[in-house]
Amino acid sequence: MEYVLRTEGLTKTYSKVNVVDKVSLTVKQGEIYGFVGKNGAGKTTFMRTVLGLTKASGGSFSFFDGQEPRKAMKRIGSLIEAPALYRNLSAKDNLELYSIMLGADKGRIPELLKLAGLSDTGKKTVARFSLGMKQRLGIAMALVGDPDLLMLDEPINGLDPMGIVEMRELLLHLKESGKTIFISSHILGELEKTATCYGIISSGRLVEEITSDELRKLCVEKTVIKTSDPEKAGEIARKLLKTDKVAIENGSLYVVGEISNIGELTNEMFKAGIIVSGISSETDSAEEYFLKKMEEG
């Protein structure tokens, strides 16, 4: 399969404003695709549009290598905004009712409860569930039809630390079981722990698509050396360390990666009459990278 979801110039306009503005992206099978953007960037509107909950104003989208839309939709499970749950029913009863509505196999309910970590809730009603439990039940309901693609809108928003960990473990388990997951979030640090690739959206426009491997290469550790002569210090660093990954920014010398022979390097600088006034390390975080891209957008 070439792709699970593809959009080309997808646009959604409200009151003459492009809330989704010519977005073209591709989600491949088996990925956890992190859709990254600030609140109001257009994430939810994009997801509602491709799921047919609102009509596109322009462009196109397709699922599963262009499969017929009705068949494709049967292979998609979604959780958009707050899950629609019956508060006076238990988790099991909610899943049974939803299974009947979809004509799905009710025999999978014990498996779904276990998967969502809700096996021990018994007859406890949803009204007494924590937010994290409700979110996990919402995902279990999205899995009732055993979909190939799961689309989740801000599933970790508002969760406590334990709830976030549980959600992360659930998402990784689903990926291992062969599901493709499209997940939107503005909680960048947490998304970094699960996503295999990202689409960064700002003011309705897709700023960049980048894989997790590409992101890791960009977010590397740097050694920062403050000296009396950064230009000359840079020449010494290039020669001694045998690297061209040396730059001068704001009067400081930046060397990509950890320097194992830092003592030898500073000694060579001292011999050249260069005063070293400070040495530290910095690491560009994924969150900083995302925020910078969002501002550019």
Same CATH topology for 5-212 and 219-289: the answer is no
**159, 18 Cβ separation under 8 angstroms:** no
Cα of 58 vs its chain's centroid, Å:
26
Q: What pLDDT does 65 receive?
A: 95
Q: What pLDDT does 297 receive?
A: 64
125's tokens: 């009603």
Q: What is the dihedral of CA 124, 128, 133, 139, to 10 degrees?
A: 80
Q: What pLDDT does 159 receive?
A: 80
For the chain (297 residues), the mean pLDDT of every run of 10, in chain order, is: 92 95 96 93 96 96 95 94 89 94 91 90 93 90 94 86 85 92 87 91 94 82 88 90 84 82 90 91 76 78
Domain ranges (residues) in the chain: 5-212, 219-289
Give the E-state strand segments of the chain in sequence order. Answer: 5-14, 17-27, 32-36, 58-63, 76-79, 149-153, 180-185, 197-202, 205-211, 221-227, 246-249, 252-256, 276-283
Q: What CATH topology corresponds to 5-212?
A: Rossmann fold (3.40.50)
Locus of tokens 């998609």: 76
CATH, domain range 219-289: 3.30.70
109's tokens: 């309910």
